[in-house]
Structure 1
Amino acid sequence: MISRMFSRFNISIGSVTHQIFKKPTSLSRSVIARKFCNEIARPENFATAGTMNDVHIKMMERIGLEPGYSPIPRSREHLIQYQPSSADLPPRSMADSFTSAVIPLSSSKSLQDLYVSYLGHVRFGRLMQDMDLFAVWVCHQHVNIPNLDKNIHLPYTFVTIMVDKIDFTDFSPKGTSDIRLSGHVSWVGKSSMEIVVWLEQEFEGTYKKITRALFLMAARNATNTGPAPVNQISPGNEHEQNILIGGEERKKRRIDHQKMSLLKVVPSNYEQSIMHDIFTRITRKDTIQLDKRVLPANGKWMADCSIMNTIPCFPEHRNAHNKVFGGFIMKIALENSWVCAYLHAKSRPKLETISDISFEKPVDVSSFLQMNAYVTYTEMNFMVVMVVADVLNPTGGRMTSNVLYYVWKCNESVPEVIPGSYHEMMWYLMGRRKLNYALGLTSGV
């Protein structure tokens, strides 16, 4: 294990200088499958949804919602009887669910005000919110119930389970040009769906890629009280077959990650050597008082590399069941991570990768949502920021609803973050895994 790690890094124990070698160039079967998923296979005839506002309106109509807030959501209990069995659902190709929508920034000054940053670029938090909504719309395109009367609303609810690794290109989207979202279902389970979503922006007559994201969605019944079956995938061609293979491998990788989580297993031998190295670096050599810590040069304690923001939730950001829309949480978390990274580096960072986003618990629209952002790992000019979203109970207590990881990059080296406790050390090692995974150096375990 240690020899394998030394082959990837030139590490001097007691020094914080790590030289990262180039990524491996050999293409494994999983890399080839991921390559196919990275390419947009746009069918000749596919459903264009219009604008993202049109998407929102169409989804509300399909599930039977009307504008206007009520503290008690409109009952959908009567739709339970229309939930199909797996046998009632015909197989679907990926092309069947392919759709696209546009954010018309070029023609809407009001939208420009919502999306633009102070430098004129598009706010990535806003785009993440749109991508989450669009992923739900793709689910609507995939689920097909032939025997459902057209006058009956869709007896389904779709919720986000997690968002997989998201890489961003060097193209910086502007706040005055249209942005196109495209996507389709790339893998299905019994009641879950993986959705691939691309973001592109019009630039000099063509569309430039901004990013690609993988959303893992759960199909639930009309009242969101149990799972609902989904149409299986019948690949329409070899390209779709390769994408489906990649989906199966990503499912296996997610299971492996869960098994190797530091919440379940002890750190590896090499990770334990990292822990000991940090311990020796922060322990004074001229005293036997082991509780006296010394901060290394150009280092900052992890406890001093965090920010916290508490916001009240409102019906403006609700879904059909008066829960906070997952895309809104993603937007707030990303923007908090950016602030945390900016303050730590003292220069404007660039978003490189979103390693993963997990959705643990739903958030009521009456909740107080506390966002805690921590710089958990740094290496050269990279920073890993972990954001923990907690739901606060006014009478006491809290519950974690989301955990999100972001990899930021600066032009210059950033201050090293130093864990000050065993708890923070585990965060440090998790951050290190996220960075290695983001850079393609390891599987992230």
Structure 2
Amino acid sequence: MLSRRSAQVLASSLHSSVQKSFPAPSPSAPTTNILAEVRTRSAARSNLWVHRFNDKLSQLTAQSQPSVDQAPSPSISAASSRLRMSDSFVQVFLPFRSDPSVAEQYQNPYATGAIRMGKILEELDALAFYVSHTYASNLERPVTIATASVDRIDLISSIPIDQDISIFGYVTYTGNSSMEVTIQMETLLPDKVHPADMDSAKYIRSKLPDEALSGSHLLTAKFIMVTRDPTTGKAAPLKQLVLETEEERKIFEEGAANKARKQSEAQSGLTKRAPSHDEMTLVHNMYMEYRKYVEERDTRLKVGFSGIVGGATALPKPADIEWMRDTRIQNIMLTFPQDRNLHGKVFGGWLMRLAFELGFASAFMFSRAPVKFLALDDISFRRPVEIGAILDFEAQVVYTEPTGEIVVKVVAHVVEAEKGTRDMSNEFWFTFKSYDQEGVVRKRIMPRSYHDCMLYLEGKRRFERE
């Protein structure tokens, strides 16, 4: 996984590549509320947005045809089955400074100056869809696009609620029928971009000039999108990328490495292979510790249980230890047509927001102090969620660090009440960090079964990937 430093380096590399490759904005592009349409979850509105989006791209293409001096290289002209990274570029804005009403929608009441990350996740998922739609619109036949997974989201720096934000993304790696969409967030310098331009198509396909950006990279996200034939449901081939610069080649190679890493991790997970020797030693050490403590909810203590473990008197659980199973919280949600995406299924960004907010609540209740989001690790969308399904979300803290980091696992199950079935839809892993607060004891999580120990090891692995 990307380290915080690697994410910053990648952000700089992406910025450099985009700045060199992307066309200048069209001064006469028509105006519409771009971001508001990206946000919508209604199928009817989504269809409207896709058509208007394509119309807008066509207008921009016609207005910015390259001159003779700007003609594409022979390799690109000859490679009709290939596309450039810049061909999928899409940019939208969050005008927090320019429009206080937008900022109000994202304010987080649980920490001063903080932002609602759940809503940001919704925006990222929506933008990833439109980036992939832009890329796939060059195919000869229509395809269905879906989010297969979220490889990683890293918060490099806190997102300010009092500054205007640029969110842009484009395809950075392609397989046969899958594409990696990389999304970046940057802050704008005050008064360098007119508010009307943020609501227009002027910069929807064009990177902002350097003088408009603060140089502060806030976030890096990687989504894996897949294309399917709408009739057969089978994989639909994609056009491949043309790499025009050394920076783009490095970005593409990073995407290939991410794909190989995920395949390797899928084969070495704890459900397929036993823990390593070091991990088993850790499990045994935890067992030797937790067996010493009396669990307050153990009913045997109320019916004359001797309290003797291995010949020693059981000890009260220390105040800084929390049993893993006691951090578990649950939320049941109904799904409605307003929550559907373009294909009539439940919008993935909506699922991500609900999972994040439950995970946040779990971490907050565990730490008893405000927490901030650090990273989201590898969400897989195992099955689509139909409108009308009942969603059962369950969150629990599975790993902690002495420095305050908290790993939370959230699982979403689809419940079909009439059939009495309950199937997993998604699995989410969030990393938070608790703030130091006077008078609050920093807690650590403690497993109390083999299953809990495996969750602890999985949380530890995911934390160490950062």
Normalised by the shorter chain, which TM-score bucket?
Answer: 0.7 to 0.9
**Rg larger in 1 or in 2?**
2
Q: Are residues 1:194 and 2:180 paired?
A: yes
Question: Is the Cα contact below 8 Å between 2:410 and 2:429 reproduced in 1?
Answer: yes
Q: Are residues 1:415 and 2:438 paired?
A: no
Letter in 2 for 1:393: E
Q: Are residues 1:171 and 2:158 paired?
A: yes
The DSSP-based 3-state class of the residue aligned with 1:41 is helix
* Change in 2 beyond 3 A, CA 1:47/1:270: farther
Of residues 287, 303, 306, the one that matches 2:309 is 287
Letter in 2 for 1:425: C
How many residue pairs end up in the alignment?
Answer: 384
Q: Which residue of 1 aligns with 2:252?
A: 244
For residues 263 and 139 of structure 2, what CA distance do their matches in structure 1 show? 34
Q: More displaced, 277-286 or 329-338?
A: 277-286
For residues 35 and 110 of structure 1, what CA distance do their matches in structure 2 show? 31
The DSSP-based 3-state class of the residue aligned with 1:267 is coil
Residue 223 (structure 1) shift: 5.0
For residues 44 and 192 of structure 1, what CA distance do their matches in structure 2 show? 23
Residue 243 (structure 1) shift: 0.8
The DSSP-based 3-state class of the residue aligned with 2:239 is coil
Q: Which residue of 2 aligns with 1:115?
A: 106
Residue 288 (structure 1) shift: 3.5
Residue 365 (structure 1) shift: 1.4
Q: Which residue of 1 aligns with 2:371?
A: 349
Letter in 1 for 2:164: D
- Calculate the TM-score normalised by the size of structure 2: 0.75
* Change in 2 beyond 3 A, CA 1:313/1:109: farther
For residues 158 and 8 of structure 2, what CA distance do their matches in structure 1 show? 23
* Change in 2 beyond 3 A, CA 1:213/1:39: farther
For residues 23 and 291 of structure 2, what CA distance do their matches in structure 1 show? 65
Structure having greater relative contact order (Cα 8 Å, sep ≥ 6):
2
Letter in 2 for 1:389: A
* Change in 2 beyond 3 A, CA 1:293/1:388: farther
Q: Which residue of 1 aligns with 2:144?
A: 157
For residues 311 and 422 of structure 2, what CA distance do their matches in structure 1 show? 36
Residue 122 (structure 1) shift: 2.5
Q: Which residue of 2 aligns with 1:137?
A: 130
Letter in 2 for 1:160: T
Q: Which residue of 2 aligns with 1:431?
A: 459
Question: Is the Cα contact below 8 Å between 2:139 and 2:239 reproduced in 1?
Answer: no
Q: More displaced, 392-401 or 299-308?
A: 392-401
For residues 34 and 245 of structure 1, what CA distance do their matches in structure 2 show? 15
Letter in 2 for 1:143: A
For residues 16 and 411 of structure 2, what CA distance do their matches in structure 1 show? 32
Residue 91 (structure 1) shift: 0.2
* Change in 2 beyond 3 A, CA 1:378/1:46: farther
Q: Give 1:255-294 correspondences, 5 Å limit.
A: 255-284=263-292, 286-288=308-310
Say what the alpha-carbon RMSD is for the aligned residues.
3.2
Q: Give 1:245-394 correspondences, 5 Å limit.
A: 245-284=253-292, 286-288=308-310, 295-296=317-318, 298-380=320-402, 381-394=404-417
Q: Which residue of 1 aligns with 2:167?
A: 181
Q: More displaced, 323-332 or 219-228?
A: 219-228
* Change in 2 beyond 3 A, CA 1:338/1:111: same
For residues 434 and 293 of structure 1, what CA distance do their matches in structure 2 show? 32
- Calculate the TM-score normalised by the size of structure 1: 0.78
For residues 356 and 146 of structure 1, what CA distance do their matches in structure 2 show? 28
Residue 93 (structure 1) shift: 1.2
Residue 114 (structure 1) shift: 2.6
Q: Are residues 1:125 and 2:108 paired?
A: no
For residues 250 and 161 of structure 1, what CA distance do their matches in structure 2 show? 14
The DSSP-based 3-state class of the residue aligned with 2:242 is coil
Residue 295 (structure 1) shift: 3.6
For residues 419 and 264 of structure 1, what CA distance do their matches in structure 2 show? 21
For residues 345 and 311 of structure 2, what CA distance do their matches in structure 1 show? 51
* Change in 2 beyond 3 A, CA 1:31/1:416: same
Question: Is the Cα contact below 8 Å between 1:363 and 1:401 reproduced in 2?
Answer: yes
For residues 9 and 456 of structure 2, what CA distance do their matches in structure 1 show? 31
Letter in 2 for 1:405: W
* Change in 2 beyond 3 A, CA 1:370/1:429: same
Letter in 2 for 1:317: D
